[in-house]
């Protein structure tokens, strides 16, 4: 995974701060998913189990399959909220930047579809099993493809939406943001 690009220097509004914190959590979970996937692919179930025990929010019965399902559900939910809540709000308040924002958002929505395909590929690879070394390496390859795509997507989103999110923070209070619809929460 590459180092993510930083948004422009200077004060950050609540919206950009919230997005970066969420993205950093996704990056951390993606790194853990890669680590656990590599351990499972290498036949090192003890290392995989130890890594899963380090999760801040965990269950005693976490497995690669359960962690991946939870992670995948969270990413899907996050992207649904962006598509249906955040992006329309940014466009509504885009002002002179609306045309550029529309192009950026179009790319981000297309990225969401590509990432959804990678998430489905990982879930299917894990469902197919990891006991066989060939299948385990398929899981790891799918995780690596997702990691690369997700990292690029998050960096692009942070840099391209930074100004709009900061401007949005100046005109809309964090308290005025509606909660995501219940069917969009992981």
pLDDT at 1: 42
174 pLDDT more than 80: no
Check: CB of residue 154 under 8 Å from CB of residue 27.
Answer: yes
C-alpha–C-alpha distance, residues 149 and 154, integer Å: 9
User: Is this prediction's pTM over 0.95?
Assistant: no
Q: What is the residue whose two structure tokens read 């939406």?
A: 161
Residue of 166, 121, 127, 138 whose CA lies nearest to 7: 166
Sequence-separated (6 or more) residues with CB below 8 Å from residue 136: 40, 41, 42, 43, 130
Give alpha helix (H) positions in the chain: 14-41, 45-53, 64-81, 87-92, 98-128, 133-171
Check: CB of residue 186 under 8 Å from CB of residue 77.
Answer: yes
33 pLDDT more than 60: yes
pLDDT at 138: 83
Q: What is the residue whose two structure tokens read 């969401």?
A: 112
pLDDT at 182: 58
pLDDT at 184: 47
pLDDT 10s digits, 121-165: 998 888 887 656 667 788 888 999 999 999 999 999 999 999 999
pLDDT 10s digits, 69-101: 889 999 999 999 999 989 999 999 988 999 999
Check: CB of residue 20 under 8 Å from CB of residue 159.
Answer: no
């Amino acid at each position: 995974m590459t180092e993510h690009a930083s948004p422009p220097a200077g004060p950050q509004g609540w919206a950009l701060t919230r997005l970066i914190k969420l993205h950093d959590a996704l990056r951390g979970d993606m790194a853990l998913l890669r680590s656990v996937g590599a351990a499972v692919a290498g036949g090192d179930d003890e290392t995989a189990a130890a890594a899963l025990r380090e999760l801040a929010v965990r269950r005693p019965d976490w497995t690669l399959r359960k962690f991946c399902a939870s992670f995948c559900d969270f990413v899907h939910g996050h992207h649904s909220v962006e598509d249906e809540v955040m992006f329309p709000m940014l466009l509504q308040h885009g002002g002179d930047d609306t045309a550029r924002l529309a192009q950026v958002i179009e790319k981000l929505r297309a990225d969401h579809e590509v990432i959804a395909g990678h998430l489905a590929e990982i879930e299917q690879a894990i469902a197919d099993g990891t006991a066989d070394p060939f299948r385990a390496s398929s899981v790891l390859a799918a995780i690596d493809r997702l990691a690369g795509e997700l990292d690029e997507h998050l960096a692009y989103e942070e840099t391209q939406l930074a100004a709009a999110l900061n401007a949005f923070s100046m005109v809309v209070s964090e308290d005025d943001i509606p909660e995501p619809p219940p069917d969009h929460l992981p």
